[in-house]
Chains A and B, each alone.
Chain A
């Protein structure tokens, strides 16, 4: 039992990282119906920007919570800018063309970020400085949680609530909902769709950057191709929850994280990458629009 609870704790932690990345996918999809394949690579960039910020602040030698926060924020800001540039330079020109053209562009951007990363950062892994030394805290019943896990959980929670606040209670957030519902009507109501799309990309990229830094704190090995698999699985998580649906992305991420950790714990670590997709196929066969997604009838 205690082992199961322990796995659950690890699963929820890992799942909240997936959830953070999945949120970016789901928001962009909700607004543009575009699968932003480059999103996983933004997560990678987040980890690298965090790495450089930590080195600049000399956080490895003299760690402090303030510096950790600064590292997180600078990675988020840098990736937010990357998100804006990415959208303006690559996605905006193809927005009026077919969805497939946009998808191939996204693939191109993804390859560009990966290979640009290899070119700039070098292909071999770098080690993220230990800003926050690991310490285990016993929760009782033989379950322990590390302070890094607590940090991951709490930062993800704060960010998710911030996002929820932005989407539900600010003017920009309401505009986002409107654009997602019907971009044409939103434009007619005086909403600048371009601005909202850019804002969405920025928001999603910032969340991915946060996920990158949080993961790097726990698993310090970072390399330019580290975003591919988590990106893919976070996307699957978004679909699992019902793509375009913000609570769905969080739920999908958590389900995915827990399932993955349980497979590693009870079946075999080598099947870790398959479980995400098996789960996806099973759920989609039962609920074709994802767990929280609504199946909208197509009108002719």
Chain B
């Protein structure tokens, strides 16, 4: 009951914000805000592999690409038809588009999750840096395939994707990924992931099925990466293979490490910081990326454990004070 009420509250708040924000903010800020949301989904999902499980994936852009292209192709060929049918049947525009978007996002995410399963399997045999390189290779292979397949626009890019994603959906995805991460962290499964991160051999000796959990982490993480990709596709309305290069994966890793490995709130914070920073530095023009990279180096030297380490910022202290007041 309490959870349903919480969900209703979140949906309500997002619905209202979705209505208010575009009027309150200019389109540029709105765009930065949306990109922040997508980055947060990416960073928090990668944190599941790199932060929780201690595995090292540098192919997150590949999963994102699978989700983006998967959902975009679905919307172009199936979803758009649904929206036309529903609208002619008298359904409201937002509902028809929302339904089509939801299905498209799920298609993209599930495809990405399958890709995650396939990539997670080699972790049966590979450790550490070797696993990292396989994920890197996977990301690059996906990109090269996209660049060569004509049906998805090849090197020209894929234009004309319906722009259904709005603040409501991005916000919902952020809430979903954060809730799933937090619940996972506090569950038996999450403990197993932490155990693998802290000492794989000890975890195995204590009966943790390390392979299964590593693959699980890959599947959940790539599911959400696919979700972020789908949102990106339906927000940007245009996809190009160059959006999913090795550099994109690196950007997401930078967010996770900068935020502090394993810290959900750290990932959120760093995702927002690293998305806003290049925008804020726009006035510095050519110096922009130089400053960005210098800040990355300096931050890593001064705070090697990330901004938050593995701590969390939470609202627990509010709750505690409230219950203390009640007592």
A residues engaging B (CB < 8 A)?
29, 33, 35, 90, 93-94, 97-98, 100-105, 107-112, 114-116, 118-119, 228, 232, 235-236, 239, 243, 268, 270-271, 273-274, 276-278, 280-281, 284-285, 288-290, 298, 300
Q: Which residues of B contact A243 (CB under 8 A)?
A: 129
Q: Is B296 an interface residue (CB 8 A)?
A: yes
Measured CA separation A35–B127 after assembly (Å)? 15
Give chain A's interface secondary structure class: helix
Residue of B with least CB distance to A272:
B144
| A270 in contact with B144 (CB, 8 Å) | yes
Expressed in whole angstroms, the minimum distance between the Cβ of A236 and any Cβ of chain B is 7
- Supply 8 further A-B pairs (C-beta < 8 A) apart from A115-B290, A118-B286, A277-B141: A111-B289, A111-B292, A118-B289, A274-B145, A280-B133, A280-B137, A284-B125, A284-B134
Q: Which residues of B contact A300 (CB under 8 A)?
A: 201-202
Q: Which residues of B contact A90 (CB under 8 A)?
A: 297, 301
- Give residues of chain B (105-151) contacting chain A, Cβ–Cβ below 8 Å: 122, 125-127, 129-130, 132-134, 136-138, 140-141, 144-145, 147-148
Measured CA separation A270–B296 after assembly (Å)? 34
| B144 in contact with A273 (CB, 8 Å) | yes
Expressed in whole angstroms, the minimum distance between the Cβ of A248 and any Cβ of chain B is 13
- The contact sample of 9 A-B pairs, CB cut-off 8 A, is A90-B297, A108-B294, A112-B297, A118-B286, A243-B129, A277-B137, A278-B141, A281-B122, A281-B141
Measured CA separation A114–B246 after assembly (Å)? 14
| B134 in contact with A281 (CB, 8 Å) | yes
Measured CA separation A28–B232 after assembly (Å)? 38
Knowing A281-B134, A284-B130, A298-B201 touch, does A104 contact B300 (C-beta < 8 A)?
A: yes
| B137 in contact with A281 (CB, 8 Å) | yes
Partner of B304, one of A98, A270, A288: A98
Measured CA separation A224–B61 after assembly (Å)? 23
Partner of A112, one of B129, B136, B293, B305: B293
Q: Which residues of B contact A290 (CB under 8 A)?
A: 130
The 8 closest A-B pairs by CB, nearest first: A97-B304, A277-B137, A111-B293, A108-B296, A115-B289, A274-B144, A101-B304, A108-B297
Q: Which residues of B contact A278 (CB under 8 A)?
A: 137, 141
Q: Is B196 an interface residue (CB 8 A)?
A: no
Q: Which residues of A contact B254 (CB under 8 A)?
A: 104, 107
Knowing A104-B253, A104-B258 touch, does A270 contact B126 (C-beta < 8 A)?
A: no
Measured CA separation A280–B246 after assembly (Å)? 16
Q: Is B1 an interface residue (CB 8 A)?
A: no
Q: Which residues of B contact A108 (CB under 8 A)?
A: 293-294, 296-297, 300
Knowing A100-B257, A270-B144 touch, does A109 contact B130 (C-beta < 8 A)?
A: no
Expressed in whole angstroms, the minimum distance between the Cβ of A267 and any Cβ of chain B is 11
Expressed in whole angstroms, the minimum distance between the Cβ of A93 and any Cβ of chain B is 4
Knowing A107-B254, A108-B296, A232-B246 touch, does A98 contact B305 (C-beta < 8 A)?
A: yes
Measured CA separation A274–B138 after assembly (Å)? 9
Q: Is B250 an interface residue (CB 8 A)?
A: yes
Partner of A281, one of B129, B138, B287, B293: B138
Q: Which residues of B contact A93 (CB under 8 A)?
A: 301
| A97 in contact with B305 (CB, 8 Å) | yes
Residue of B with least CB distance to A115:
B289
Knowing A270-B147, A271-B148 touch, does A289 contact B130 (C-beta < 8 A)?
A: yes
Expressed in whole angstroms, the minimum distance between the Cβ of B298 and any Cβ of chain A is 8
Measured CA separation A94–B147 after assembly (Å)? 38
Measured CA separation A243–B297 after assembly (Å)? 25
